[in-house]
């Protein structure tokens, strides 16, 4: 993926952990994560599950998506945050070790290594933002990572707008200028980028 190697998952996970860790002890993690129906705690557990799901599917080069299992959201927040970095490291290792041409199952289509790196970064960034919004804080991820995720997963997204605002729009979190907020059923392009047909699948 342009601008993002598997090791960037470690940088992004470390940043997300650093943003969330100050809230580990005293914050109320039962409140909704931003505008999601999930609580902040459930959203963090979902993030861990997503990273494991990606690792399992790429490691097994699954033809159809297979479950990676669920994270135990009843664990203390500091334990879940430690697992956040750990699961990002596992995904980074799987992506680095995958042979050329490796692909794995995903509900939006079989993905390649670049896709799994991008999806992992997107999950980390967007759900960290959801959580901190619920906890009353703010979060701004690195622009270069946002740009790379957009280029890989949302090739139809505009390139003349601020990267983080555009990534939030592409993930259905907000409007972008005159572009309306996307329907909750929005999708990204998980298959290899060369398989993109040049259209926006979210367009009406």
Average pLDDT, the chain: 95
The residues, ordered by sequence, that sit 6+ positions from 78 with a Cβ below 8 Å of its Cβ are: 21, 24, 25
What is the per-residue pLDDT for 5?
A: 86
Say if strands 111-112 and 103-104 run parallel, antiparallel, or are unpaired: antiparallel
How confident is the model over 5-34, as a mean pLDDT? 96
Q: Domain for residue 113, yes or no?
A: yes
In this model, does residue 1 exceed pLDDT 50?
A: no
Looking at the domain assignment, is residue 201 inside a domain?
A: no
Residues above pLDDT 90, as percent of the chain: 97
Instruction: Decide if 97 is inside a domain.
Output: yes
Position 150 in a domain: no
* Residue 2 placed within a domain: no
pLDDT at residue 3 above 90?
Answer: no
The answer to whether residue 170 sits within a structural domain is no
What is the total count of domains within the chain? Answer: 1
Q: What CATH number is given to the structural domain containing 48?
A: 1.20.120.450
CA distances from 68 to 46, 58, 119 (A): 11, 11, 15
Q: Which tokens belong to 70? A: 């669920």
Q: Tell me the pTM.
A: 0.96
Task: Give me the pLDDT at residue 204, please.
Answer: 61
Residues in the chain: 204
Q: Is residue 167 part of a domain?
A: no
pLDDT (mean) for 116-145: 96
Residue 95 lies in a domain: yes
Q: What is the pLDDT of residues 132-190, one digit of tens each?
A: 999 999 999 999 999 999 999 999 999 999 999 999 999 999 999 999 999 999 999 99
For 110, residues 6+ apart whose C-beta sits below 8 A from its C-beta are 63, 103, 104, 190, 191
> What is the structure's pLDDT at 43?
98
User: For the segment 76-111, what is each residue's pLDDT rounded down to a tens digit?
Assistant: 999 999 999 999 999 999 999 999 999 999 999 999
Range(s) of the domain holding residue 12: 8-141
Q: What secondary structure does DSSP assign to the chain, as a single string?
A: -TT--TTHHHHHHHHHHHHHGGGTTTS-TTSB-TTSSSBHHHHHHHHHHHHHHHHHHHHHT-SS--------TTS-HHHHHHHHHHHHHHHHHHHHHPPTT-EE--TTS-EEHHHHHHHHHHHHHHHHHHHHHHTT------HHHHHHHHHHH-TTS-SSS-HHHHHHHHTTSS-BTTBPPPPTT-----S-GGG--SS-TT--
């Amino acid at each position: 993926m342009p601008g993002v190697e598997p090791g960037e998952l470690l940088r992004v996970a470390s940043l997300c952990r650093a943003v969330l860790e100050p809230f580990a002890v005293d914050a109320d993690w039962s409140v909704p994560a931003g505008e999601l129906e999930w609580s902040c705690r459930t959203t963090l557990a979902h993030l861990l599950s997503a990273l494991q799901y990606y690792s399992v599917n790429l490691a097994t080069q699954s033809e159809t998506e297979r479950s990676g299992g669920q994270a135990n959201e009843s664990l203390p927040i500091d334990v879940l945050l430690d697992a956040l970095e750990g699961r990002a490291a596992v995904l980074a290792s799987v992506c680095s070790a995958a042979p050329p041409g490796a692909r794995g199952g995903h509900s939006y289509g079989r993905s390649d290594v670049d896709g799994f790196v991008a999806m992992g970064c997107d999950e980390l960034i967007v759900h960290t933002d959801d959580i901190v919004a619920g906890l009353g804080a703010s979060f701004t991820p690195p622009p270069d990572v946002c740009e790379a995720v957009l280029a890989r997963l949302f090739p139809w997204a505009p390139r003349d707008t601020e990267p983080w605002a555009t990534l939030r729009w592409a993930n259905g979190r907000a409007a972008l200028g005159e572009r309306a907020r996307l329907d909750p059923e929005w999708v990204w392009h998980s298959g290899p980028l060369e398989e993109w047909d040049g259209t926006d699948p979210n367009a009406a």
